[in-house]
Amino acid sequence: MGEFHSVIDFGVEASRAVVPYFYRAPFPINDRRAPKEYQLAGIEYVLARSHALIGDAPGVGKTAQGIGISNAIDAKRTLVVCPASLRLNWEREIWMWSTITNVATYPVFKSSDGISPDAHYVIISYDLLRNSAILDALLDLRWDHMILDEAHYIKDPRGNARTRPLCAPDALPSVVGRITMLSGTILPNQPVEAYNAIRLLDWSAFDRASLEDFRETYYTFGEGFINTFDRATKTWKAKWSKKVRNTPVNLEDFQRRLRSRIMVRRLKEDVLHELPRKQWHPFPIRATAAMREALKHPGWLLAERLYEMDPDAFDRGIPVDGAVATARRLLGEAKAPAVADYIDDLIDGGVTKIVVAAWHLSVLADLRDRLSGHGLVYMDGGTSDQNKQKAVDQFQGDEHIKIILGQTRPIGQGWNLTAAQDVVLAEPDWVPGMNDQLLDRTHRLGQKGDYILGHIPVVPGTMDERVLATAIEKDANIHLALDHHV
């Protein structure tokens, strides 16, 4: 590969910009929410290139930037490819940030849904791109803009079922005007994991290097054993090789090429002046048959009548053994698989530590079973004080422990959980103060990130969503009344 030239160093500086130089992308006028200056700077960087990657750290707000690019280019048809758990969240964000009047969104949940040629935004998961009928329908249309969220999903340079619909010569990029990738972890482990992204966005930035040349440039090689799979015996065998990949090298050159031509990236510490110290993020989950059945329980009808008579009724508490409490437990159990999928995607997207809380032991048991592969410690009301402290110490000090899972009251009482900046309330309380108490386990002295995000699952269009929306709004009003700088 050729030498890097300093003539494009201005691009390196632009890749770190937290205010736009010249251009301010269009966004809807909204009294309660407006794009941050660094988001406008990110859009400006992308628009100066044919295709680009927004590589901001997790939690900085890449989704709004992707939609802002569609606004800026006046895209009539945008394809969003994202993890399955984020489809409804993308739909909500589009409704919030798109400048298209009465914007039409079409999330694809199963292959029989087909593709809408009339929607302004079609939202689909990576896994559904493997369906040949879906892929053919997408290839039959022309897309002004394609957004690949969590773009590290296509990291395998050898190609697989997930990468082929996006990386093959006759794949989706052949019918797309502009490609924008979003990922805070575009190379989760090593430079070669960014090779597919480089090929799609601006291969010339790396001198159109073959995969072999790329590896030669950014790795040292030596002799050693490598594991190979013997198809005949269906076993792995150690084999001596004179060309074992060893240590990544030339990483400054790698970063300069990425930043100048392909990637805008800001860390949380770069933009903290624009971020709230604590923020709630309700993430919508698709109603399954189990959720719909739980929502038919008489307790939900009672809750709705209470809410209609007095929205503040829930602030005074719900009977633990009442019909409403039973209904909430059934919904929590039905939500648990979707919540686990969402947590999987958070970790895959670069979140390193998460506090997860639920009220009911049955919900905790399901989450514990589904999430244990990430490295997990646990506490509930029956856990001894000694074992609770041991769990907290492991979570705080062991990088391999990514999740601390606990029952809402025991985990929300006094512990120091500052290793995490993300909290997932699998069964959030309808009283704002109870949710805040858990969030404050991370937002306290010792928190280096100084930015806490609370994730709350909601079933759109249901009583579950209405009550939680009210609780979040009350929390925002409390902040404005007591804590917001004036």
- Give pLDDT, residue 454: 87
Q: Does 461 score more than 90 pLDDT?
A: no
List, for residues 132-184, the tens digit of each pLDDT value: 999 999 999 999 999 999 998 898 887 788 889 999 888 999 999 999 999 98
Could you tell me what percent of the chain has a pLDDT over 90?
A: 47
Last residue of a domain, one of 267, 301, 322: 267
In a domain, 155, yes or no: yes
DSSP H or E stretch at residue 263 = strand 263-264
Asked whether residue 215 is domain-assigned, the answer is no
Kindly state the tokens that stand for 314: 């829930």
Q: Tell whether the model's pLDDT for residue 105 goes beyond 50.
A: yes
The pLDDT value given to residue 303: 74
What pLDDT is stored for residue 59 in this prediction? 72
Residue 197 pLDDT more than 70? yes
Assess if residue 386 is contained within a domain: yes
Residues 132 and 65 in one domain: yes
Least confident of 28-37, 114-123, 217-226, 439-448: 439-448
Can you read off the two tokens belonging to residue 250?
A: 């030339």
Residue 314 has pLDDT above 70, yes or no: no
Q: Give yes or no: residues 258 and 340 share one domain.
A: no
Mean pLDDT of the chain: 84
Tell me how far CA of residue 14 lies from CA of 62, 207, 464, in angstroms.
Answer: 16, 21, 43
Q: Could you tell me which residue, 92 or 33, shows the higher pLDDT?
A: 92
182 and 292 share a domain? no
The pLDDT, as a whole number, for residue 433 is 67
Q: Are residues 169 and 291 in the same domain?
A: no
Give me the mean pLDDT over the 16-38 stretch.
84
Residues 32 and 158 in one domain: yes
Q: pLDDT band at 317, cuts 50/70/90?
A: low
Tokens 């503040």 belong to which residue? 312
Residues 104 and 142 placed together within one structural domain of the fold: yes
Furthest-apart CA atoms within the chain: distance in Å: 76
Does 334 lie in the same domain as 300? yes
**pLDDT for position 479:** 41
Query: 7: pLDDT confidence band, cut at 50, 70 and 90?
Result: very low
486 pLDDT more than 60: no
362 and 254 part of one domain: no
Domain count, the chain: 2
> Looking at 97-106, 146-155, 184-193, 227-236, which range is the least confident one?
227-236
Task: Give the helix/strand (H/E) hosting 393.
Answer: helix 385-397
Instruction: Tell me, yes or no, whether 310 and 255 share the same domain.
Output: no
- Confidence check: pLDDT of 311 > 70: no
Please give the pLDDT value at position 107.
96
196's CB contacts (< 8 A; 6+ apart) are 154, 155, 156, 157, 163, 166, 167
Nearest CA to 246 out of 277, 264, 224 is that of 224
- Looking at the structure, do residues 260 and 309 belong to the same domain, yes or no? no
Three-state DSSP at 5 gives: coil
**244 — pLDDT class (breaks 50, 70, 90):** low
Cα 267 to the center of its chain, rounded Å: 15
pTM given for the model: 0.78
Say if 213 falls within a structural domain.
Answer: no
Confidence band of 294 (pLDDT split at 50, 70, 90): confident
Residues 290 and 257 in one domain: no
What value does the mean pLDDT take over residues 348-372? 93
- DSSP state string for 125-171: ETGGGG-HHHHHHHHTS-EEEEEEETGGGG--TT--TTTHHHHSTTS
Residue-range definition of the domain harbouring residue 184: 6-203+247-267
Return the pLDDT at 478: 41
pLDDT at position 320, please? 46
Q: Determine, yes or no, domain membership for 212.
A: no
Q: For 365-371, what is the mean pLDDT?
A: 96
Q: Are residues 353 and 448 in the same domain?
A: yes
Is 307 within a domain? Answer: yes
Give the Å distances, CA to CA, from 157 to 101, 194, 226, 440: 40, 8, 18, 42
Q: What are phi and psi of 437, to 5 degrees?
A: -60, -40
* Residue 290 vs residue 436, higher pLDDT: 290
Task: Tell me, yes or no, whether 241 lies in a domain.
Answer: no
CATH number of the domain where residue 189 is located: 3.40.50.10810
310 band by pLDDT with thresholds 50, 70 and 90: low
CATH number of domain containing 429: 3.40.50.300
Residue 83: inside a domain: yes
Is the pLDDT assigned to residue 366 strictly greater than 50? yes
User: What proportion of the chain, given as a percentage, has pLDDT over 70?
Assistant: 81
Confidence of residue 430 (pLDDT cuts 50, 70, 90): confident
Q: At residue 319, what are phi and psi to the nearest 5 degrees?
A: -55, 130
Of 69-78, 293-302, 468-477, where does mean pLDDT reach its minimum?
A: 468-477
CA 347 to chain centre: 8
